[in-house]
Amino acid sequence: MKKLLCSLLTVPSLSSFAMSMQDKAHYANIYVDELMQEFDRELNHRVMFNNTESMMLTKTYAKLISGRDYLENMEDHSDHHHSHKSASILEVPSFLNFNEVTATINKQSQKFQKIQNKIKSLNQTADVIYPSVNGAGNITGNTFPANTWAFTFDDGPRGQRTKTVVDDLYSRGLKATFFMLTAEAIKYQSAAEYVKDAGMEIALHSYTHKSLAGVSQTRLDYQVTKAKKDLEKLIDVKLEYFRLPYGAGTRSSLTRKVIAQNKLVHLFWNIDTLDWKDKDPKSIFARAKKQMALTPKKSGVILFHDIHSQSAVASALLMDYLMENDKKICTIGEIINHINGQSEACLN
């Protein structure tokens, strides 16, 4: 009774309520849905006014990336100072919880906004290539040859889902680049080998998809150096390209140094399908097409994830659409070789 009174009489500060993981995920999902709708509204606005500024450089996009990081790494972001399990018997108005989650996501998105500002301050149409430990260095796809697209599939491999994507590419005579997580390749080794045996390009996306912005040398050694070594050994490939989880960490000189030391080139993207959140293949397809039409040379790097069923359907729609419109679909390696003066059948 005394305990009950106490909790009734104390005016609770916001942080005294420990939200459960499910609550946090619930509110974060609501917010990320709102952000996705905002992204689509802004994209439609750009289409209407033929505004070719990349959607990847908007605040909304920074928040979306941050929201995804929040949802996938909730344990890392939970506040351990307030980890008591049972909350007060008082019901916290849900809008307070919602605001707490959105504030955390918005705060985190500032890190990504700094990367965006860096890209803007350089020259958003220029690609700056690794290895370099000073300044920015990314392949974005913005300077790829006209009408040339690279499909990239992240976060896999994952069993049949990955195999479906590979079959869709293979049956059309196409190749794509798969940014694999070493831990997933170990778990789904036959899918990883399937990607390789179909002649697809394999690239690295870290060991376990943790954000690598401002992390220690030890963590980088594991997520980049060991991840590369283990994946290369597992399926006998040579890895040349790396993509940071959430694209986070390109401004960190230590992160850049480790990527460069591993002779990896960092690859960003200029088209985000948001297929990790959107479940509707047609809307994913439409979102990609709109962004693609606004690129300066109708070229670049498209981001998909081969771990979702909607992604397989949407990417097949996009493959057919591009083939019908005489666009070229090549791997990152083929496009870079072509830029470097080497003849590549895909680009002839």
Rule CB under 5 A: is residue 272 a binding residue for Zn ion? no
How far apart CA 59 and CA 288 sit, in angstroms, is 19
Rule CB under 5 A: is residue 334 a binding residue for Zn ion? no
How far apart CA 170 and CA 148 sit, in angstroms, is 18
Residue 228: CB minimum distance to Zn ion, A = 16
Backbone angles phi and psi of 213, in degrees to 5: -80, 120
> Nearest to residue 72, comparing CAs of 273, 209, 254, 176?
209
CB of 87 closer than 8 Å to CB of 18: yes
Helix H or strand E encompassing 302: strand 300-305
Distance of alpha carbon 251 from the chain centroid: 16
Residue 144: CB minimum distance to Zn ion, A = 21
Return the number of the residue (155 or 201) whose C-beta is nearest Zn ion: 155
Return the number of the residue (154 or 272) whose C-beta is nearest Zn ion: 154
The footprint of Zn ion on residues 142-161 (CB under 5 A) is 154-155
| Location of structure tokens 């690129």 | 295
Rule CB under 5 A: is residue 306 a binding residue for Zn ion? no
Rule CB under 5 A: is residue 69 a binding residue for Zn ion? no
Residue count, binding to Zn ion (CB under 5 A): 3
Return the number of the residue (23 or 272) whose C-beta is nearest Zn ion: 272
Residue 4: CB minimum distance to Zn ion, A = 46
Rule CB under 5 A: is residue 100 a binding residue for Zn ion? no
Return the number of the residue (19 or 274) whose C-beta is nearest Zn ion: 274
Return the number of the residue (265 or 294) whose C-beta is nearest Zn ion: 265
Binding piece for Zn ion, criterion CB under 5 A, among 45-53, 161-169, 183-191, 242-250: 242-250
How far apart CA 88 and CA 17 sit, in angstroms, is 7
CB of 105 closer than 8 Å to CB of 28: yes
Binding site residues, Zn ion, CB under 5 A:
154-155, 245
